[in-house]
Amino acid sequence: MTGPDPYTPPPPSQMRLGLWGPPGSGKTTYLAALKLAALRSTLPGNWTMNGADPAAIEFITESMKQLAELKSFPAATERHRSMMFKFTGERSVAAPPPQKLGWRFRGGPPQAPAPSIERDQFYLDVLDVPGADYEHESRTDRLDSDLLDLEFPDDEPTNSTDVADDFDGPGGNREKLLDHLQQCQGIVYLFDPDRDARQGDSFSYFHPVLEQLTARVMESTHTGSRLPHRIAVCVTKFDNPTVYKAAYVGGYAARDANPPFAPVIRNGQAREFFHRLCRSDQTNSDLIYEGLTQYFHPENIEFFVTSAVGFHSPDGLFRAQDPFNVQRDPVEGGVRIRGKIHPINVLEPLLWLHEGLRAPR
């Protein structure tokens, strides 16, 4: 920090953020990487993460072992589950201005009290739902020639009719998801460009949820013409060969100033990069951008390019000639993580949401 924040009233004691994304967008992996991102973070505030309920504590314990020790990805979600994660940090806050004294005071102006360090916190309220294919058929004929066809465990489609019915039926997962999103003040929306290139169905999952969420909010006491949520749009899997190539060729990728000095896309260019990825004539993903900008206030939207596992960085340094941290296992099949995990822009979207929601309106 450059200095203490100006004095403001204490923030709300509880602030809930939600997670939204189609099947295979990496929701489970994103959640699993959050703990590692907090541990490795050099961001101001000394942020820590912990589970706020038994399900979240169990998830953190299992996912840390899965990612950091076993070098594998979390399994796909098989049933819906609710989890609450708590993020605790600190901020330097200027003390309230001293009271003005009358003319009788002759000792000169009083010294301003020293700034204080205060605890800062927010909650990530997650409804993790299974990847039910409820509105599309798999379109594997749209493979990009540059793809290595690396599929993560939570990319796997589920074609079970029972799961689809559970999602769409009264009181099903979709209704619970809509209840969840409506009650959150901020949303992290995950867009997986690799999956969209292969399946071409991101808009099919985005539009119904947006339409029904809007109908619910507009029927409530909300008086605005747009949804009131603050939303962080995350383009996931930056470390994927195809996504990284698009960023590198387009001139979007820059080196981070902190070890391991891996590629990053600054937030100022993330929106434009998202636009570039959505130009394909084979998908309707450009309508996702149009929907976001029409249904949410422009000042309430920010774009990020993220990676849950980061790039391969042997000896703590990124090497451009051998960049990828995920490879297919030639013996067992599937994919494995090669080295240490250095998440990219995983914690930052949550902190951006928190800062904006904490600020006085």
Q: What is the pLDDT of residue 228?
A: 94
Share of the chain above pLDDT 70, in %: 76
On the question of pLDDT at 31 being above 60, the answer is: yes
Q: What is the pLDDT of residue 18?
A: 86
On the question of pLDDT at 4 being above 80, the answer is: no
Select the more confidently predicted residue: 77 or 239.
239
C-alpha angle 223-229-230 in degrees, rounded to nearest 5: 135
Select the more confidently predicted residue: 126 or 24.
126
* Stretch 47-65: mean pLDDT: 94
Q: Are strands 16-20 and 116-128 parallel, antiparallel or unpaired?
A: parallel
Q: Which residue's structure tokens are 């990020």?
A: 304
On the question of pLDDT at 350 being above 60, the answer is: yes
pLDDT in tens, 101-153: 555 555 556 666 677 788 888 989 888 765 553 343 333 333 333 333 444 55
- The two structure tokens encoding residue 222: 């909300």
* Stretch 239-251: mean pLDDT: 94
Q: Are 137 and 190 in contact (CB under 8 A)?
A: no
- The two structure tokens encoding residue 66: 């899965």
Q: Are 52 and 27 in contact (CB under 8 A)?
A: no
Sign of torsion, CA 27 305 297 88? Answer: positive
How confident is residue 7, by pLDDT bands cut at 50, 70 and 90? very low
* Stretch 318-336: mean pLDDT: 86
Q: How far, in Å, CA of 296 to CA of 302, rounded?
A: 11
* Stretch 95-106: mean pLDDT: 60
* Stretch 204-223: mean pLDDT: 91
On the question of pLDDT at 154 being above 80, the answer is: no
Select the more confidently predicted residue: 180 or 147.
180
Helix 27-40 to helix 54-64 angle, to the nearest 10 degrees? 80
pTM: 0.82
- Range of weakest confidence among 34-38, 92-96, 142-146, 257-261: 142-146
Select the more confidently predicted residue: 236 or 137.
236
Q: What is the pLDDT of residue 265?
A: 95
- Range of weakest confidence among 44-53, 194-203, 287-296: 194-203
Q: How far, in Å, CA of 310 to CA of 339, rounded?
A: 10
Q: What is the pLDDT of residue 153?
A: 54
